[in-house]
């Protein structure tokens, strides 16, 4: 069988993505306007979608935007090593330049998608909400590596079952991007002031100390919370995902328990 070239795979992936998205939004009384990027644009944005409320056809109401980077493959790479912390997830490599742009600089919410064109499946990943990315990006840059592997949950198949979750994660990503732009443009921020050490302060006092340092800021991005004392644990062990907070900080864990 003749092997498909990259251009062919890209077109198949874009057709698959837009067809499935168009149907999902239509089935939920919304209309999707598709704006593909031009060939000379090279910041990793493949589509700029506009979403309209179509419940009243004569008076469509604009709801929001979604940016997208879409990739296609005939050989989906799922991690099968059970001892790997990303077991069962889809691994895909992206350039550091694009990931930094998506995570720190883009004003709008972006959903990354990868299309398994062999099985007609689309997987999505809300890359801007991944609180582990800042530390992982810094590690790659320190090692002079210009790419980074992202890990996409295999359960994030684009479908009616995950559609509501996708929209919620898009909404949070938009909110997250606003907070990053407004308050945390300095990627080398020093949060050492939140650490009052192993003093006689009780845990509740340490928590209040940190909260008071950020007085006036109503929302903190996930990646910032994971760097703050007394919440943070050891490297790669502090994470926020779908409103679940994970840390190996035993003192904080015992307090919450």
Q: Per-residue pLDDT tens for 185-209?
A: 444 455 666 676 655 677 887 788 7
Assess if residue 11 is contained within a domain.
yes
Are the beta carbons of 209 and 194 closer than 8 angstroms? yes
Same domain (yes/no): 99, 29: yes
Sheet holding 110-116, edge to edge: 30-36, 47-53, 61-73, 110-116, 121-125
Same domain (yes/no): 65, 106: yes
Same domain (yes/no): 170, 203: no
User: Residue 166: which of 120, 219, 118, 113 has the closest Cα?
Assistant: 113
DSSP reduced 3-state for 152: strand
pLDDT at residue 175, as a whole number: 87
Are the beta carbons of 98 and 113 closer than 8 angstroms? no
Same domain (yes/no): 120, 221: no
Assess if residue 162 is contained within a domain.
yes
Q: What is the C-alpha to C-alpha distance for residues 103 and 123, in angstroms, rounded to an integer?
A: 19
- Domain final residue pick, 157, 183, 209: 183
Same domain (yes/no): 132, 19: yes
Assess if residue 1 is contained within a domain.
no
pLDDT at residue 225, as a whole number: 78
Q: Which residues of the chain have pLDDT under 50?
A: 40, 185-188
Q: What is the C-alpha to C-alpha distance for residues 42 and 151, in angstroms, rounded to an integer?
A: 23
pLDDT at residue 119, as a whole number: 95
- Domain final residue pick, 139, 158, 183: 183
Same domain (yes/no): 209, 172: no
Assess if residue 48 is contained within a domain.
yes
pLDDT at residue 143, as a whole number: 92
Same domain (yes/no): 109, 228: no
Are the beta carbons of 151 and 91 closer than 8 angstroms? yes
Q: Where in the chain does DSSP place strands (E)?
A: 30-36, 47-53, 61-73, 90-95, 110-116, 121-125, 147-152, 239-241, 244-246
- Name the DSSP class of 38: P
DSSP reduced 3-state for 186: coil
CATH number for position 93? 3.40.1350
Number of domains the chain is built from? 2
Query: Domain containing 133: what range?
Result: 6-183
Same domain (yes/no): 147, 23: yes
Q: What is the C-alpha to C-alpha distance for residues 112 and 93, in angstroms, rounded to an integer?
A: 12
Assess if residue 122 is contained within a domain.
yes
Same domain (yes/no): 93, 49: yes
Same domain (yes/no): 176, 197: no
- Domain final residue pick, 148, 183, 218: 183
pLDDT at residue 217, as a whole number: 57
Token pair in block for residue 110: 């972006």
Q: CB-based burial of residue 13 (10 Å sphere; 0-12 exposed, 13-18 middle, 19+ buried)?
A: buried
Q: What is the C-alpha to C-alpha distance for residues 144 and 26, in angstroms, rounded to an integer?
A: 45
Same domain (yes/no): 21, 136: yes
Same domain (yes/no): 38, 139: yes
Assess if residue 115 is contained within a domain.
yes
Angle 160-183/6-27 helices, nearest 10 degrees?
A: 100
């Amino acid at each position: 069988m003749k092997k498909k070239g990259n251009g062919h795979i890209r077109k198949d992936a874009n057709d698959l993505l837009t067809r499935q998205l168009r149907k999902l939004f239509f089935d939920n009384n919304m209309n999707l306007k598709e704006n593909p990027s031009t060939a000379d644009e090279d910041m990793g944005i493949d589509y700029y979608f506009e979403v309209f409320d179509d419940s009243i056809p004569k008076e469509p109401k604009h709801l929001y935007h979604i940016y997208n980077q879409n990739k296609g493959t005939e050989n989906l790479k799922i991690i099968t090593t059970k001892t790997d912390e990303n077991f069962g997830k889809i691994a895909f490599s992206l350039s550091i330049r694009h990931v930094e742009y998506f995570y720190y600089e883009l004003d709008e919410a972006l959903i990354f998608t990868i299309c398994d064109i062999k099985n007609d499946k689309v997987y999505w990943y809300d890359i801007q909400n991944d609180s582990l990315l800042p530390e992982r990006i810094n590690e790659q840059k320190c090692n002079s590596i210009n790419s980074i592997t992202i890990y996409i949950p295999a359960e994030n198949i684009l479908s009616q079952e995950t559609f509501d979750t996708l929209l919620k994660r898009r909404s949070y990503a938009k909110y997250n991007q606003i907070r990053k732009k407004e308050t945390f443009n300095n990627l080398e921020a020093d949060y050492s002031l939140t650490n009052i050490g192993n003093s006689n302060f009780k845990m509740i006092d340490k928590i209040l100390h940190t909260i008071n340092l950020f007085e006036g800021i109503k929302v903190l991005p996930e990646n910032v919370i994971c760097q703050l004392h007394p919440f943070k644990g050891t490297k790669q062990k502090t994470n926020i995902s779908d409103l679940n907070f994970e840390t190996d900080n035993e003192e904080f864990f015992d307090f919450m328990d």
